[in-house]
Chains A and B, each alone.
Chain A
Amino acid sequence: MSERKRLLIVDDDPDFVEGIRAILEGADYETDVAYNPKDGFQALKRRAYDLLLLDIMMGRGAEGIMMARKIRKDPELKELPVLIITGIREQIAFLFPGKGVHPGYVPVDEFVEKPVEPEHLLERVRSLLDAAATRKGKASR
């Protein structure tokens, strides 16, 4: 159980990625990065990850949302914990008029807002990984 957890970051801003990657690696996680959803998907197909950190606004719009939806429909990936890291909150009204983003609209486990305090990020990551481990434990029993 001491094996290092492997996380995938999908975000199109290399400078931002650098910022969270350093925090995650500092906490002894292994990280891979994809700078767009397409590469992200390929990475997820290539190997198993314990958690996905996903940006919303990429490319021509809210491509992160499409990616999250696609993952939830994929039989192999639907159990993957997804943490959305986004700069947009209620300003996303053009996608969901009058509503903020929340898991009712985007099938993910949790949201944090950019920029994210290191402690807060690590805490969210830990709790999602723990929840996933618990789920897995129950399933195998």
Chain B
Amino acid sequence: MENGQKILIIDDEEVVLDSCTEILQGSDYEITTATDGGRGLKLVQEFRPDLVFVDLKMPGISGFEVLEKIREHDSTVVTIVITGYATVSSAVEAMKKGAYDFLPKPFTPDEFRLITRRGLEKRTLVLETMALRRERELLRENFAAIVSHELKGPLSAVQQNMFVLEQELAGTASEDQKRRLDRMKTRIKDLLQLVDRWLRGMSVDIEAMKENYQPLAVSSAIEKAVESVLPQAVRKDIEIVTSVEESAGQVMGDEGALTEALVNVLGNAVKYSPTESKVSIAWERKDNQVVISVSDTGVGISEEDLPFIFNGLYRAKSAEGAESGLGVGLAISRRIIEAHDGSISVQSKLGEGSTFVITLPAIEG
């Protein structure tokens, strides 16, 4: 990055251009000069400098205007103003417009070398920051694919061998052994589905999803969500009680996504409830909204934890000792519900249970 960086100097005094060029002679920099703003700006586009020195006091286009144009063209180009007055006020004004530093005339060769090096270092940093930002964005986009491969790969291999083992032992395994195999298969299947759900929630393109919104019955999404968490509930001997008002109505949305949002909320209710308890889900029409509430008598959420539970990768302290699991699910639910112009909120008391309330705008039909 240090080598071959490009410097453009714009100044109407040829003597300044010559001396600057001379001072940097023998360095690795590539230097070009312009005697007025118009030519300078043309070079900004053609020569693509990393660092531009701009004289503030020039005939024709003013230094300030040049600075602004450079910024418009490429805000990552580092600019340093040369000012004959050495007045702090004009230099400050220029730096407000985005100049990185200023160089008062007259200057010594050392001063010029130093400010050049600093300017180029700044440019390197700016470019590196941009590259990192791009990389981070790319990582987020590819996260789903990477996680998919890294997490699901091993799980698939285990499950595939489990299938074979089950076949191979079919005639000889005892009932107990078969149950054990079943249990292992079920848990791996759950885990694979969990990975899928999280990936979909995190990588789903909300805008693309909105284009495919259709009128759908809330009850249908709820039924599917209940069906999905039922195995976990049965395992803990938890009863899921549903109560519906017949005319709860329809909403505009993506059924798969809404079901997923509900599965996360319902799944949490089951996860944090004691065995042999009840989880209830009720929905009704209130004015022009569909209101869905999910209640449990589980561990509850403490007041201090409440504000954070929809923020992702958050697991309430009070949940320690209960089943493990990070709170990604609720963040995904919120993302989905907000994409449907709805809202999700929670009321909870530690040790007594929680009630999640989801509201969605209803449509007639």
Main secondary structure of the interface of B (DSSP, over half): helix
Q: How far is the CA of A107 from the CA of B9 in the complex (A)?
A: 56
Contact A87 B148 (CB under 8 A): yes
Contact A87 B145 (CB under 8 A): no
A115: B residues at CB distance < 8 A? 155-157, 159-160, 163, 192
Contact B160 A19 (CB under 8 A): yes
A interface residue count range (under 10 / 10 to 19 / 20 to 34 / 35 or more): 20 to 34
B144: A residues at CB distance < 8 A? 91, 93-94
Q: Within 8 Å of chain A (Cβ to Cβ): is B174?
A: no
Size of the B side of the interface (Cβ < 8 Å), in residues, is 27
B141: A residues at CB distance < 8 A? 93-94
| CB 8 Å contact bits of B153-179 with A (1 = contact, 0 = none) | 111111111011001100000000000
Known: A114-B156, A118-B167. A15 touches B145 (CB 8 A): no
Known: A87-B153, A88-B148, A93-B144. A20 touches B200 (CB 8 A): no
Contact A91 B203 (CB under 8 A): yes
Q: Within 8 Å of chain B (Cβ to Cβ): is A13?
A: yes
Q: How far is the CA of A18 from the CA of B158 in the complex (A)?
A: 10
Known: A19-B157, A87-B153, A91-B199. A117 touches B148 (CB 8 A): no
Q: How far is the CA of A20 from the CA of B160 in the complex (A)?
A: 7
Q: Within 8 Å of chain B (Cβ to Cβ): is A137?
A: no
Closest beta carbon of chain A to B279's beta carbon, Å: 30
Q: How far is the CA of A13 from the CA of B152 in the complex (A)?
A: 12
Contact B145 A94 (CB under 8 A): yes
Contact A91 B157 (CB under 8 A): no
Kindly identify, within residues 90 to 120 of chain A, every residue whose CB is under 8 Å from any CB belonging to chain B.
90-95, 98, 114-118
Contact A23 B145 (CB under 8 A): no
Closest beta carbon of chain A to B345's beta carbon, Å: 30
Q: How far is the CA of A117 from the CA of B164 in the complex (A)?
A: 9
A13: B residues at CB distance < 8 A? 153, 156-157
B168: A residues at CB distance < 8 A? 22
Q: Within 8 Å of chain B (Cβ to Cβ): is A132?
A: no
Contact A98 B205 (CB under 8 A): yes
Q: Within 8 Å of chain A (Cβ to Cβ): is B105?
A: no
A117: B residues at CB distance < 8 A? 163
Contact B203 A16 (CB under 8 A): no
Closest beta carbon of chain A to B88's beta carbon, Å: 51
| CB 8 Å contact bits of B115-158 with A (1 = contact, 0 = none) | 00000000000000000000000000110110011001111111
Q: How far is the CA of A15 from the CA of B163 in the complex (A)?
A: 13
Contact B153 A116 (CB under 8 A): no
Contact A114 B160 (CB under 8 A): yes
Q: How far is the CA of A23 from the CA of B149 in the complex (A)?
A: 23
B15: A residues at CB distance < 8 A? none
Closest residue of B by beta carbon distance from A90: B200
B208: A residues at CB distance < 8 A? 98
Contact B145 A19 (CB under 8 A): no
| CB 8 Å contact bits of A80-91 with B (1 = contact, 0 = none) | 000000011111
Known: A16-B156, A94-B141. A87 touches B205 (CB 8 A): no
Most interface-central of A13, A16, A91 (chain B CB within 10 A): A91
Q: Within 8 Å of chain B (Cβ to Cβ): is A57?
A: yes
Contact A93 B205 (CB under 8 A): yes
Known: A13-B157, A114-B156. A91 touches B145 (CB 8 A): yes
Q: How far is the CA of A47 from the CA of B117 in the complex (A)?
A: 64
Closest 3 CB pairs of A and B: A19-B160, A115-B159, A114-B156
B: residues with CB less than 8 A from A are: 141-142, 144-145, 148-149, 152-161, 163-164, 167-168, 192, 196, 199-200, 203, 205, 208
A: residues with CB less than 8 A from B are: 13, 15-16, 18-20, 22-23, 26, 57, 87-95, 98, 114-118
Q: A15-B157, A16-B157, A91-B145 are in contact. List 19 more A-B contacts (CB 8 A).
A: A13-B157, A15-B154, A15-B160, A16-B160, A18-B161, A18-B164, A19-B157, A57-B149, A57-B153, A87-B149, A91-B199, A91-B200, A93-B144, A94-B142, A98-B205, A114-B152, A114-B153, A114-B156, A118-B164
25 contacts between A and B (CB under 8 A): A15-B161, A16-B156, A16-B160, A18-B161, A19-B161, A19-B163, A20-B160, A22-B168, A26-B167, A57-B149, A57-B153, A87-B153, A88-B152, A90-B200, A91-B196, A91-B199, A92-B145, A93-B141, A93-B205, A95-B145, A114-B156, A115-B157, A115-B159, A117-B163, A118-B163
